[in-house]
Structure 1
Amino acid sequence: MPEGDTVHQAARRLHSALAGRVLTRSDLRVPQYATADLTGRTVLDVTARGKHLLTRIEGGLTLHSHLRMDGAWKVYAPGERWSGGPAHQIRAILGTVEHTAVGYRLPVLELLRTQDETQAVGHLGPDLLGPDWDQETAVRNLLQDPARPLGEALLDQRNLAGIGNVYKSELCFLAATTPWFPIGELPTATVERLVTAARRLLEANRDRPARSTTGRRDPRLYVYGRVSRPCLRCGTPIRTANQGAPARDRPTYWCPRCQLGPTP
């Protein structure tokens, strides 16, 4: 699943290609909006809110999309071959004279009144990369359910928006705590440092083509995706297990020596 830094990069690409330009092509390939025609309207801006994308369009309209696991927006120049996937995976096309933005495999695509955007993103906590960032609120949100496992609390976008499965595992490693440790048993100062580290990492990676939490080119990550490989700090093989409810569980990585706390 794309994380906050990746979604902000997508918003920046779409904004650069579409903002201030009149739509000459509009094709929303979901039944509810199949007859919607946005041609002739100017794209005002494209912005990210956590992992959500909001494309604001003249006339008080917003096209809301979410990439979830496999979605992607691709931008093409005139005559350039579209390469984001087969045609049947296309869910949206927004074209101007200069560029065409194509949305592939978008599980969430809806056309809203701009004044109603809160219906789509109003539940989100402070955005780690957004102008609404509020560290105190994020910490308070995380600690409101003290028994909740740290990893699950970090992934809950209602607490703070932008952390995905990669950052969850990496942040728990940096906190020297397993993702199953009850967050309320951590000192408040530790949670504050964790939130500070989350913002620092996302900001550091918002302009990078390849995400790095180690500060290196290789390996770029401490634990995520490194099962059975040696921990970069102690050499112990990294372990993995799923975390979360069965329908929403995610592979989680940790070092059994460097990270203290319960494990599956």
Structure 2
Amino acid sequence: MPEGDTAFQAAASIAAAFTGKPLAYSQFRVPRYATVDLSGRTVLASRSIGKHVVVDVGDDWAIHTHMKMEGVWRVHPLGTRWTKPAHTARLVLRTDTHEAVGFDLGVCEMLRHPDEALSYLGPDLLGPTWNPELAVANLRRDRDRPIGLALLDQRLMAGVGNVYRCEACFLRGVHPHTGAGDVDLPAMVDLCHRLLVANKGRVRTTTGHARSRRYWVYGRGGRPCMRCGTAIVRSFLGTPDTTEERVLYHCPHCQPEPARSSLPSGS
């Protein structure tokens, strides 16, 4: 699942092959931008901002993409066979030597002044100006909001997705329904930062294993906890009137349930 580390890796791959080079070809497979041709423009930079990938192409314009749930970027030497079906490609960029293809991108657009357009995002966990104090202050603003929802709010802190919210809560021994005000927020923020930094240049893992045991709880519903043996619970966190309800994994033994009064309505 694409999260801040995935975006960082994608942006870095594009940067390594495209920065400073003119585009020989571009194709947006999105109706709104079907006639946009960036051929001749030089790629000035490629960077991630939270879970977004921004490719600067001059005159304050940038390609802005977000992978959402299923998206992926592939960068390879020109002429390499695509690893995903052609009909899922949303954007194709080429230089004289390399090709970058964005498949199943949830957002694919041109943005003017991208940093201004994305200024609503909270501190970027993998950004050059990462500010943990501001992230803590943002998370603390709504003390009653479940930490499992607060961690997904990109306006508070940018880069954590569903995998990291489940894993960080487990590693801190915090039930995801616990109100943010009852959580050691500096420690939680520091852990999220350390996890993303550790994984920005490798296949993601929170356990140290790179294969079948990559995660402590995520995707392991019904299987025994690797710490205590209790069956991992698969549930959902959110209420029917929100768009934030996402699948959730936690260990009921290692992450004790908070007092009933602090549970969100509908739990």
| TM-score, L = length of structure 2 | 0.92
User: Residue in 1 aligned with 2:8?
Assistant: 8
User: Residue in 1 aligned with 2:245?
Assistant: 249
User: Residue in 2 aligned with 1:71?
Assistant: 71
SS at match of 2:39: coil
User: Residue in 2 aligned with 1:129?
Assistant: 126
Superposed CA RMSD: 1.5
Gaps of 5+ in 1: none
Structure 2: distance between partners of 1:99 and 1:10: 14
- Aligned residue pairs: how many? 257
Structure 2: distance between partners of 1:98 and 1:107: 27
2:215 matched to 1:221? yes
User: Residue in 2 aligned with 1:233?
Assistant: 227
Structure 2: distance between partners of 1:212 and 1:27: 34
Write out per-residue CA displacement over residues 169-226 of structure 1, whole angstroms, 9 at most, x where no aligned residue. Answer: 011111211111111123xxx11111111111111111112x1112234522111111
User: Residue in 2 aligned with 1:161?
Assistant: 158
Structure 2: distance between partners of 1:126 and 1:161: 6
Contact 1:74 1:84 in 2 (8 A): no
How much does 1:31 deviate? 2.1
SS at match of 1:214: coil
1:143-162 mapped onto 2 (5 Å cutoff): 143-162=140-159
| TM-score, L = length of structure 1 | 0.93
Contact 2:78 2:94 in 1 (8 A): no
The ranges of structure 1 where at least 4 consecutive aligned residues each deviate by more than 3 angstroms after the TM superposition are 245-248
Gaps of 5+ in 2: none
User: Residue in 1 aligned with 2:116?
Assistant: 118
Cα 1:154/1:79, change in 2 over 3 Å: same
Cα 1:117/1:34, change in 2 over 3 Å: farther
2:182 matched to 1:185? yes
Structure 2: distance between partners of 1:200 and 1:154: 15
Structure 1: distance between partners of 2:129 and 2:205: 25
